[in-house]
Amino acid sequence: MANSKKRVLSGIRATGRLHLGNYLGMVKGMIGLQESKEYEPFFMVADLHAMTTPYDPESLRRNVREVVLDYLAAGLNPEKASVFVQSLVREHVELAYLFSTVVSIARLSHLPTYKEKVKQYPENNTLALLYYPVLMASDILLYKTQALPVGDDQLPHLEIAREIAKKMNEKYGTDFPEPQQMKTEGHYVPSLTGEGKMSKSVEGSYINLTDSLEEIKRKLAKVPTDSGTQRGSIPEIGGVRSLYVFYKLYFPDDFEELFEKPYKSGRIRYDTIKNSLAERIYNELVPIQEKRRVLEAKPEHVDKVLIDGAEKARKIAQLTLEEVKEKMGLK
């Protein structure tokens, strides 16, 4: 029976094409899960969340499509997983409203993610932005998701989802699980600038899944490094640390030999390191790029995937919503 499987859900804001951080931090982990018989994965394109920062309707429409293509090209299998667009399953918004009755404004306004966005877009300090984590809790709990492969940057949001689950269970006797992070191999993918994580909103920080080998080389060439004659342990922050994290991900068996040792003895050659890294990354992206080209030529196939995905998601979402409405006194 399908519902004896554990549901896992993840989503990406529809603000553009996926980058390597999204892929390593989430998509790759989910692809692993879809092959296991234990899990039932849901992949969502968060179009409503994309409206919490300044956007234009035409780009939003295009970006939803870009994310779906990237998801499918990266290997999500719609036969095994449900791929859907958030706004097409209306229950997300309705449950979020019900959840908003158990979350305080103070709690939400102190979240680091909220504060950062307000700083970034001071003209856009909207109610929708404040409400972001409530909608995300709804995305997660509608499917009674227990574990999610999300990046570390999402942990404050996950904490809100847990608090909501707990409050709802205490107050209304629902049975929401308290969702946990499922750590993927790439749960923290650093920025190419050497500061913070890879992010679409930071120019020069990311590699796109559609980048050519030349582009990847060009981007890696810009990662700031030291003179290469330093000795001692690898720095905790900065460009050298970013390269090191990537090296570990892409050369799991020989990063000590190829990176750590030469660094420690002051003989590291960053141009060699960067070139071999660019090639490994590109090799992983080639099949994704090929599949994307095939999918781009089959828009009806993509439409069908989204219709089926929304239908599968809606079935479960409706059950949860009905249950919550009843328990909260709406029925």
Residue ranges in contact with ligand TRP by CB under 6 A: 9-13, 46, 49, 136, 139-140, 148, 150, 154, 157
C-alpha R_g of the chain:
21
Terminal Cα-to-Cα distance of the chain (whole angstroms):
29
Question: Count of CB atoms within 10 A of residue 132's CB?
Answer: 24
In degrees to the nearest 10, what's the CA dihedral of 15, 305, 209, 145? 70
Q: Which residues contact 198 (CB under 8 A, 6 or more apart)?
A: 19, 20, 21, 189, 190, 191, 192, 205, 206, 207
Q: Which long-range contacts (CB under 8 A, 24 or more apart) does 201-207 make?
A: 201/15, 201/120, 206/19, 206/20, 206/21, 207/19, 207/20, 207/281
Nearer to ligand TRP, 64 or 278 (CB): 64
Question: Is 200 annotated in the active site?
Answer: yes
Question: Which 8-state DSSP code applies to residue 124?
Answer: G
Q: How many CB atoms lie within 10 A of CB 45?
A: 27
CA distance 99 to 109: 16
28 vs 49, which CB is nearer to ligand TRP?
Answer: 49
CB atoms within 10 A of CB 246: 28
Nearest residue (CB) to ligand TRP, 134 versus 223: 134
State whether residue 114 is helix, strand or coil.
helix
Residue 41 or residue 239: which is nearer to ligand TRP going by CB?
Answer: 41
Shortest approach of ligand TRP to residue 14 CB, angstroms? Answer: 9
Please tell me which residue in 6, 183, 200, 327 is annotated as part of the active site.
200
Q: How far apart are CA 112 and CA 270, in angstroms?
A: 35
Q: How many whole angstroms from its chain centre is CA 70? A: 12
Residues 165 and 237: their CA atoms lie apart, in Å, by 36
Which one, 189 or 240, has the nearer CB to ligand TRP? 189
We find the least distance from the C-beta atom of residue 136 to ligand TRP, in angstroms, to be 4
264 as an active site residue: the answer is no
Closer of 161 and 223 to ligand TRP (Cβ):
161
CB 149 to ligand TRP: min, Å: 9
- Of 152 and 260, which CB lies nearer to ligand TRP in the complex structure? 152
- Give me the catalytic one of 6, 167, 183, 197: 197
327 catalytic per annotation:
no
For the CB of residue 153, give the shortest distance to ligand TRP in the complex, in Å.
Answer: 7
User: CA angle, corner 130, sides to 124 and 131, nearest 5?
Assistant: 125
Residue closest to ligand TRP when measured from CB atoms: 11
Which of the following is catalytic: 117, 219, 274, 312? 117
- Looking at residue 229, the DSSP 8-state letter turns out to be -
Q: How far is the CB of 308 from ligand TRP (least distance, A)?
A: 20
**Which residues carry out catalysis?**
117, 197, 200
